[in-house]
Amino acid sequence: MEPKIHVYKDLQELSLAAADLFVDKAAHTIATYGRFLIALSGGSTPKPLYELLAQAPFRDRIDWDKLHFFWGDERCVSHDDSENNYFQAKQSLFDYIPVPEYNIHRIISELEPEDAAKDYVRVLKDFAQSPYDWPRFDLVLLGMGDDGHTASLFPGSPVDVTSPTVAVTANYQDRPAKRVSLTPLVFNTARCVVFLAVGKEKAETLAKILNGEYHPQLLPAQRIRPTDGEIIWLIDEAAAVKL
C-alpha cells in the first residue's frame, strides 16, 4: 500500500493528530477484536504524544485495560534509566493511566541483548496470530533517525533476517549501543504502521526514503512495507522541505 503522508506545522500539531489517530484506532480495533495491540517507539519524537494520551480529553476516550503495550525496540539499560524506552513511556504515560501492569510487555533490558531478544520471542509467541509466531500489531509507532534507521535497524545491518527479533550493537547520538529490535518480519504484518519524524535534519533522508530508489541496506526505514496494512507518515514542515 502506498504511504499516506501528512504534514503538520510543528511537533505539537503533529502530536495532537497522532493522539487523535491513536484514540480512533483503539476504539475501532477494540470494537472489532476486543483488544488493541500496540508497539511503541523510543526516541524523543513520540514523547509529546505519550504526554497527550496521559491527559484529558484523550485519556478518557480510551478503554485502557483492552490495550497491550509492546516495543519496536529497546535499549539494554536498566528499566529505570532515562535512556530506556519502557521508562520513557512509564514516565510520560503509564504513570497516569489505568492500564493493568500485566498488559505492559516490556523487553527485559537488564539482560544481554541476545538473551533479551530470545525472551522477547517467547513474549511475542503468547500473542501469536496464525500463521505467524508473533502478533499482528494493530498499531506500530516508529521513528526515523537522520541516517535512515528505524527502531534499532541501522544502515548496513542484515536485510534478510528470518527471526522476529534481533540483538543489535549500534552507536547513534550517544544513545545506549546494546539494543533489541523487532525485525521487518513483524513490522510488516502490522495492520497499521505510523512513522513520526520532525526537524530539518531529517529532511534529506526522508526525501530519499519516500521518493528515492529502494536501498533497504542503506535506508532501513525503507524495509518497512506492511504486506496487508497501512503505512502513515506524520511529519512536520521542516522535515517535509525536500519532498
Binding-site ranges for ligand 6PG (CB under 6 A): 41-45, 73, 75, 85, 143-145, 149-151, 175
Q: How far is the CB of 239 from ligand 6PG (least distance, A)?
A: 10
- Residue with smaller CB distance to ligand 6PG, 63 or 146: 146
**Residue 184, all three cell numbers:** 521487518
**Are residues 87 and 50 in contact, defined by beta-carbon separation less than 8 angstroms?**
no
Q: Which three cell numbers stand for residue 79?
A: 528499566
- In three-state form (DSSP H/G/I as H, E/B as E, the rest C), the secondary structure along 97-145 is CCCCHHHECCCCCCCCHHHHHHHHHHHHHHCCCCCCCCCCCCEEEEECC
The radius of gyration of the chain's CA atoms, rounded to the nearest angstrom, is 17
User: What is the number of the residue whose Cβ is closest to ligand 6PG?
Assistant: 143
Which of 162, 173 has the CB closer to ligand 6PG? 173
Residue 30 CB, nearest approach to ligand 6PG (Å): 25
CA of 25: how far to CAs of 18, 162, 178, 197, in Å? Answer: 10, 29, 32, 20
Q: How far is the CB of 27 from ligand 6PG (least distance, A)?
A: 26
> SS3 sequence, 34-50?
CCEEEEECCCCCCHHHH
The amino acid that residue 84 corresponds to is N
Q: How far is the CB of 223 from ligand 6PG (least distance, A)?
A: 13
Instruction: Kindly list the distances between the CA atom of residue 236 and the CA atoms of 93, 157, 212, in Å, as whole numbers in the listed order.
Output: 23, 28, 19
Q: How far is the CB of 88 from ligand 6PG (least distance, A)?
A: 9
> By C-beta, is 63 or 147 nearer to ligand 6PG?
147
C-alpha span between 207 and 216 (Å, rounded): 14
Query: Residue 187 CB, nearest distance to ligand 6PG (Å)?
Result: 12
Give whichever of 63 and 119 is closer to ligand 6PG, judged by the CB atom: 119
Nearer to ligand 6PG, 65 or 114 (CB): 114
